[in-house]
Amino acid sequence: MSLNRDPLTQFTSLKSFGLGNKWTVSLLLVLSLTFYNYCVELLTDAGIKTEQILFYRGSSALILGIFIPIFTGRSLWPESVKPQIIRLCLNGIASYLVIISFSYLSASTVVLVSRTDVPILIFFSIISGAKKSDLQFWLSFWAVAIIIFLVFDAKFIDEEPIGFLYAFGGVAFTSVGYMLVKNSSKRENIYVISNVFSLSNLLLGALIITLTNGSFAISSKTYWIFLLSAVSQICVYSLGIALYKWYNIERARIPFIIAGLFVMILEMIVEHKFFNTSQIALSILITGMLLTIVLNPASPQNSFQRKVNAIRNTSAKK
């Protein structure tokens, strides 16, 4: 049975609440991503180990991702198994590398570095023969160059270099996963896609805990964080896949780019964490570059000339 339907309709009849609007979906996705990423920082600050975060975040999201489809009569089995097996192998490793980077970097920096997946996707597109502008290529190059500079001079913004390396490793695995998600969104429902990610996290977390003779015990005070993380993940997948259906893979990343600034603001409000001016300026600069890459705006000169020509044509007709 084909499930090639609007993922928001699959989730529930959310269009009746105005979620058929692309701006509304994008805003809610930014908020979901903000909470989803900030949950990792809360868990890290609470002393929860990376493998425990993987296991319990995967478990809680998987339970939610199984319960909702059963309750709503959705399928839990993928239409195409092979891409999901590949994602099962990749997603856990990507999550592990990203989560462990939170021990060395602020949440907003992790999110910002994770958005280097946008330049990587541009490079992949160019290699595969897709048409991209010179502006997109060179801005992608310089965005990566600036972040590499931060890796070698991380103390400049009070971060630890090893955190950047972990985050970059996560980006490499995540970029491949995004392309598989983009393709899967045409066939699979959101629960299949989300559950594969959750199961990958759960299995890798359990494997690491077992091999290292670690403990599965965690504080009951963190249960609510895992629940918030699970709800956020379902929202991220349901809203994100809607954007994948509406836009190309780069443009669908816009809310993911903006979320980095929202996480920084949340850290300032909740933790009273104040970033130095250089770090804030670099975050805004890189965010602006990434947005320009995905939007690929026309030259202001060309836009102005088109308006002048339109006015002339209108005047000539009169």
- The tens digit of pLDDT for each residue in 49-89 reads 999 999 999 999 999 989 888 888 787 888 878 888 888 88
- What are 226's two structure tokens? 């895992």
Phi/psi-derived region of residue 18, left when phi > 0, alpha when psi is between -120 and 50, beta in every other case: left
Distance between the two ends of the chain, CA-based, in angstroms? 58
Amino acid identity for residue 169 in this structure: G
Q: State yes or no: pLDDT of 8 exceeds 60.
A: no
- Residue indicated by tokens 């529930």: 12
Q: State yes or no: pLDDT of 144 exceeds 70.
A: yes
Banded model confidence at residue 298, pLDDT cuts 50, 70, 90: low
| Domain spans, the chain | 7-317
Q: Residue 214's CB: how many other CB atoms inside 10 A?
A: 15
Considering only CA atoms, which of 40, 25, 28, 12 is closest in space to residue 229? 40
> What's the chain's average pLDDT?
79
Question: In this predicted model, which residue has the larger pLDDT, 182 or 200?
Answer: 200
Banded model confidence at residue 258, pLDDT cuts 50, 70, 90: confident
Banded model confidence at residue 277, pLDDT cuts 50, 70, 90: confident
Question: What would the mean pLDDT of 174-183 be, rounded to a whole number?
Answer: 69
What pLDDT is stored for residue 13 in this prediction? Answer: 41
What pLDDT is stored for residue 148 in this prediction? Answer: 74
Lowest mean pLDDT across 29-38, 104-113, 173-182, 232-241? 173-182
Banded model confidence at residue 300, pLDDT cuts 50, 70, 90: low
What pLDDT is stored for residue 1 in this prediction? Answer: 39
Q: State yes or no: pLDDT of 257 exceeds 70.
A: yes
Report pTM.
0.77
Q: State yes or no: pLDDT of 3 exceeds 50.
A: no
**Cα Rg for the chain, rounded, in angstroms?**
21
Banded model confidence at residue 184, pLDDT cuts 50, 70, 90: low
Q: State yes or no: pLDDT of 224 exceeds 90.
A: yes
Q: What percentage of residues in the chain have a pLDDT greater than 70?
A: 81
Q: List CB contacts of 22: < 8 A, sequence separation 6 or more.
A: 243, 246
pLDDT tens digits for range 88-121: 888 889 899 989 988 888 777 787 788 777 787 7
Q: DSSP of 164-231, one letter per residue?
A: HHHHHHHHHHHHHHHHHHHHHTTTS-HHHHHHHHHHHHHHHHHHHHHHTT------GGGHHHHHHHHH
